[in-house]
Amino acid sequence: MNEISDSLKQRFATIADLDAASAVLSWDQQTHMPEGGLAARAEQLSTLSRISHDMLVSEETGALLEETGNTDPTSVEGAFLRVARREYERAARLPSRLVGELSRTRSLAQGAWEKARTNSDWELFAPHLERMVALQREAAEHLGYEEHPYDALLDAYEPGMRKSQLDELFARLREELVPIVKKLPREATGEEPFRGNFDEEKQEEFSTRVVTDFGYDWSRGRQDRVTHPFCTSLGGPADVRITTRFDPTWFSYHFFATLHEAGHALYEQGVDPAYTRTPLAGGASLGMHESQSRLWENIVGRSREFWNHYQPLFGKTFPQAAGASAEDLYRAANVAYPSEIRTEADELTYNLHILIRYEIETALLEGDLEVSGLPGVWNEKTKSYLGFTPRSDARGVLQDVHWAMGLIGYFPTYTLGNVLSAQIFEAAESAHPEIREQISEGRFETLLGWLRENIHRHGRRYEPRELIERATGRPMESGPYVSYLKRKYGEIYDL
């Protein structure tokens, strides 16, 4: 077996540095950059992405990979080579021109999306999306696929996953969950403890205490305000930043978004530092990453045990809600009803929001749907699956930034994460039955420790399918997730 040369390692370290610099510029664009800097920032990001791409697909990189030959596939070096070759082969199929154009279009589209969403004006964004969809179609053809062009894009976020598998998963969830959703109230009931006047500083104080208790290391992170919350790793576990948003009249708007991004950050902060500046840095896949954010946001943060512990602190921090019991807060955290905004949706209806996006983006990619007709189709599908028509495009087709960023194939990873979160928590609890009791005491070290040992530290060393089998003892399955939802909401709503 051959060893990986220092030249190959240094080459991928340099590529990682370029990508980290791009991540810093992207983070700044969404948090602090003045609006006037958009055009220049688009060019800067385009330049960096082009240089990174050219270095990855160069003849020298190909020669170094070829010279390495085979290594022990079960070793860290074997995993390095597997991921490096995968990245090289995918990138080599994309022309440098296309990579630069995608980056430039992404920056301009994000700025247009922000304005369009603010003004609920679809026409401001539509030309940018038309360009992005055309570029993504071209990318899919360059990347290649066996079954469907969507597979080529999906593979970037969920290696090995296919549209045909997603179709089966969504069919199962639709069959199991739609009958339950139809029995839900049409409006929010029981959310009163989280509605009212919530001082922004107090909200941040409370959420900071919680994510600190979870284990988020502030010496290696920070939090900023944005329109659409996200988490980003700027070069490894030593710098993992989260963002959030606030609504002074609605506690949930900020709180659960913060728990969600903290879940992503805990994953990134837990990756083996030895993988920094290598292809093994970061999460195994977007679905696996989403499993961590959903686990901390929903299975932990919306649990009865969680609110049994944090009810006194909540009442002290927000005197207007001091009379709310732990049970009141638990039920407020789990109010379920069909709603307009995906990021505000409850666990039962959330996957129907994803289904709408999944069906639309596959139709766009196939050419069965034109961008000009997208708002109408969006509203029709929302009416069919959720029972209402969005009040505006800002609260409908324009609510998500993903398509502006060119992330076609990304949305299904949210549902994959939901499914995996229940399976992973079930495995952790099986290994440590004391986890729920510890949550009721505000202690999370056992849960976080299990996740660090079985998932976080491995980074991208294992393929997603192998990682979930190693962690839980079986392939991904929707059973634990469906059982979790039926048990929880069956009890809350007497379904």
Bridge partners of 472, per DSSP, are none
Collapse the DSSP code of 232 into the 3-class scheme (helix H, G, I; strand E, B; otherwise coil) and give the result: strand
E strand or H helix that includes residue 357:
helix 350-366
Query: CA separation (Å) from 436 to 207, 311, 432?
Result: 20, 16, 9
According to DSSP, the β-strands at 240-244 and 223-225 are parallel
Calpha distance 68→61 (Å, rounded): 11
CA 405, CA 26: separation in Å to the nearest integer?
11
Query: 242: part of which helix (H) or strand (E)?
Result: strand 240-244
CA distance 55 to 49: 10
How many Cβ atoms from other residues are within 10 Å of residue 291's Cβ? 33
Closest CA to 121 of 492, 394, 356: 394
Residue among 246, 306, 225, 296 nearest 266 (CA): 296
> Is 261 in the active site?
yes
Q: How far apart are CA 367 and CA 189, in angstroms?
A: 41
Residue 63 sits at the vertex; the CA angle it makes with 156 and 282, to the nearest 5 degrees, is: 30
As a whole number of angstroms, the distance between CA 395 and CA 389 comes to: 10
- Determine which one of 114, 261, 340, 347 is catalytic: 261
User: Do β-strands 231-233 and 240-244 pair in parallel, antiparallel, or remain unpaired?
Assistant: antiparallel
Q: Per the structure block, which two tokens stand in for 450?
A: 């299990």
181 vs 458: CA distance, rounded Å: 37
CB within 8 Å of 89: residues ≥ 6 apart: none
> What positions carry a catalytic annotation?
261
